[in-house]
Each structure stands twice: as structure tokens, then as C-alpha cells.
Structure 1
Amino acid sequence: MSGDAARREAELVAAFSAHQSALRHWLVQAFGRLRDEVDDILQDALAEVLHRVRTEAFSPQMGWVGYLRVVARHRAIDRLRDWERRLFRGLGSGEAWRTDDLTRDSPHVTDPRPGPAEQAVEAERRGRQGLLLSEVLEEFCRWCESRPQRLPMKEAYERSLRGEQPAQIAAGMGLPAHEVYTLLNQARTWVVQRIRQADVDRSVFLTLHRRKGE
């Protein structure tokens, strides 16, 4: 490593250490749902910037702290998107989304490969899905936080969205497995019902409104 690269790396690490507490506070304020993951996000951001320093002789014009905020924000958004993908899989029956779930709502579709117009419509609908999911998840968090007895439900559901299995959640929270299953079922039921209420024209989440046998 050259002398300049070593100097930049030392400056970056020093800036991170000096401002880590402020960066943590900013992340918690900006991404409340990720409050338990802010340290991991910051470490990911630091590792990413360090890699650029070592491989590209990188030095941001906005300063190290400003650039760390930019990278941390991107990594936080990535995690929220991953949460939403997990939520897609957990809604309704709990099965993964499949393309045939969507085409079955359109009985006249004969070509499984959508044209440009269909792709544009689907992309727009997926965008509305993301917005609606974000709003419902924020509402769910506020609803849980309004009553202390609901906080275990919030924690269990957030752990499930991060990929933990019920047995892991039970061990981490010190709860019986059957209680975790109850909490997860209550949380998923609340989220699904709220989405159905918000998606009154049934245009965003097609499969959530389908009855058995359809």
C-alpha cells in the first residue's frame, strides 16, 4: 500500500471512530425499523469504503463522514428491500410468489412472456407494492409500540423478516416455540388484513385476494 493510500485509510478509520455514535443515531432516526442492525450496517459501509480506498486510491470530495452516510444509507435501503422480499414470501399462505400466481388472474393470457406494455404495468404495480408494504410495516411498528404487551410480537416478526427461523426466534427471545408461532401468526394476520383494507381495488396484491379454488 502506498503512503497516500495508508494516509487516506488512517483518516477514514479515524473519522469513523470519531463519528460512529453520531452515525448510529442518524441511522436509527432515519431507519427506525433497522435499529437493531445499525452496527452491522455501519461496519458494512466502512468495509465498502475501505475497499475503495485500497483498490482505487479513493478520496471523496464530500469528506469521509458524508460519504459514509451515503454508503450506509444505501446499505440500509438494501436491507429494507430484503425485508420486503421476505414479507412477500410470508404473506398469505406463506408460499413464494410465482409468475403463475399472477397469470392465473388473467385467463386470456396464452403467452407466458409478457410484452413491453405488460412489463411496464407489472413494474408499476411492483412499485406500488413496495410503497404499500413500507407504509403497512411502519403502521404495524407504531401499532405494536403503542402497547408494551405487543412489543414481543413486533420483535418476533422483525426477526422472521431478517430470516430467523421460529426455533431461533424462540431461543433468542427466551420464549416457548408455540408462543413464537402464535406471535408470528398474529403479526402476519394483522399485516395481511391491513393490506387488504388498503388495496381496496385489489390491484396491488393480486394473490392475497384469491379464494381457495380460484
Structure 2
Amino acid sequence: MTVRGGTTGSAGWDARYASTDLVWSPEPNVWAVEVLEGRAPGSALDLGTGEGRHALWLARLGWEVTAVDFSGEALRKARAVQAESAPQTAGRITWLQADVVQYVPPRRSSSAVVMMYLHLDPVSRRTVVRNAAKALAVGGVLLVVGHDTTNPAEGFGGPSDPDVLFSATDVVVDLAGLPGLTIRRAERVRRPVRDGQVALDALVEVIRSA
């Protein structure tokens, strides 16, 4: 996850990742499992990979993954987790240190692109979302999930800065005008977390149809 606000820049995230064992759960997010688990493995792009939980999960399923994050410390930890718990994925993941806002993936190169809890200012988010969609091969899926704009008031956890939160509608607007895309799903979803609490997520699933 990246948040431009609060913990800012790669140095801030390096410090956060260095301060604890794992910042995020090692298990894949429920929405990633729901959307991607049944798909035939191909090439995947994980934008804002953090400690690599989704890249590692996809690689275990047979995907070839490019995992991008601007925090060198996050990627160091991701490689350590890979070596310890998923050595069978060696050679299936390319760990790439880059700012996702500046990174431009090859067009039509990925069967799946995931943006999981990548929280950016609206202009940066639009850039990343549109580049992610352009990276989809025909038949490929883009999954964008983040804390919904309503989560601070009605849900649990996540950032509270309204400048980096978004709704599913915001992402659909970000994608407007790009040809060959089908919005399969765009909604606010409820995600159980702990102690009976519920987080409210924005979820957008996009298929490249042409």
C-alpha cells in the first residue's frame, strides 16, 4: 500500500517497513482471491506490492509476476518472505523498485493487473489506473481495491485523509475514454476485519474486451 500523505515518499515507507516484522497480513486479500483465484495463470502486474503478499500468492498459483514498489525496504522484506516461505516461486517474480506514478508498464502485456489499497492523490491515481488498464492484454483483468471514501465515518481502519480515498465511481471516471474496456463490477463492498468490525472498500473489476 502507498499513501501520499501521512507516511510520505519512499523514505517514510522504508522506515515504516523497517520498524516491524510485517506491516500487512501475509494472506491475500479476499477480493483478490474472489476475482483471480479461478483464472488461468499468465503474466501479472502488482502495483504497490509492499511486502509482496499478492505477488507471492499469484506466483504460487503459477503466474509470472512483475511486482512494483518504490520502497526498497518493502521489496527486501518481500524477497526474504519469498526465500523463507515460497522458494518454489523463485524465477516467477520480478521485484522492481519504481514509483508507480512514473512507471509505465508495457502495453497489452499483462493477463492481470492488481492495485490493492494503493492510495494516491486523485491526479496520480488517474495516471496509474489508466496506465494499468493500458497494460491489459485482451481478456485480461484489472482489479482496483481501496478503502472507500465512506470508510472513515462508517467503516474500520485504513487512512482517514479524504484526499487519498476514492470510490468505485472515481475509478470508473478515471478510465473514461479508454477503448476496449468493460467494467464488470464497480461497487462499495463490506469486508469483515476483526472483532466484528467491517471495512468499506471500493472495488472495480475491469476486463479488456478488445
TM-score by length of structure 2 reads 0.24
| Higher radius of gyration, 1 or 2 | 1
Select the structure that is richer in strand: 2
TM-score by length of structure 1 reads 0.24
Select the structure that is richer in helix: 1
